[in-house]
Amino acid sequence: MFGRVVLNVRVNFIPVALLNSANDCRDDCRSVLIASIVSGFSGAKSITARYIPTTSYIFSIEIDFGREPIGQFSIEIGINQSLRTQYFNGIDISSKTKIDISPAFLSMVGSKGNG
């Protein structure tokens, strides 16, 4: 589990038709969000966004670098534009959110030696 950063991101709106789609929302809706590293530490082996079905529009984004230490980086997250005409007709989904991440300030779950 080392060498990974996991972010939980709430999306303001996802159409129910998309969430219920057997094609576009298969595999935990992995094709709904697009995330990419735009600056800083790079070299992620994979970036996977999965919908958490027991929540209201929350996705878990896992960035796997496969190694440590991980330096500061910025990630940009947006809705997959290929879904625009079918599910977001009349809604502007072109904006993206940029998140600056400093792994040195993140706490490690299950770390030892805290007192």
DSSP state of 37: E
Query: Do the Cβ atoms of 18 and 83 come closer than 8 Å?
Result: yes
Domain boundary assignment for the chain: 4-105
DSSP 57-89: SEEEEEEE-SSS----EEEEEEE-GGGHHHH-T
What is the pLDDT, as a whole number, of residue 95? 93
Closest CA to 93 of 102, 83, 101: 83
High-pLDDT (> 70) share of the chain, %: 90
Task: Name the average pLDDT for the chain.
Answer: 87
Q: Cβ atoms within 10 A of the Cβ of 14, count? A: 21
* CA–CA dist 48, 63 (Å, integer): 7
Q: Which of 14-28, 75-89, 92-106 has the highest mean pLDDT?
A: 75-89
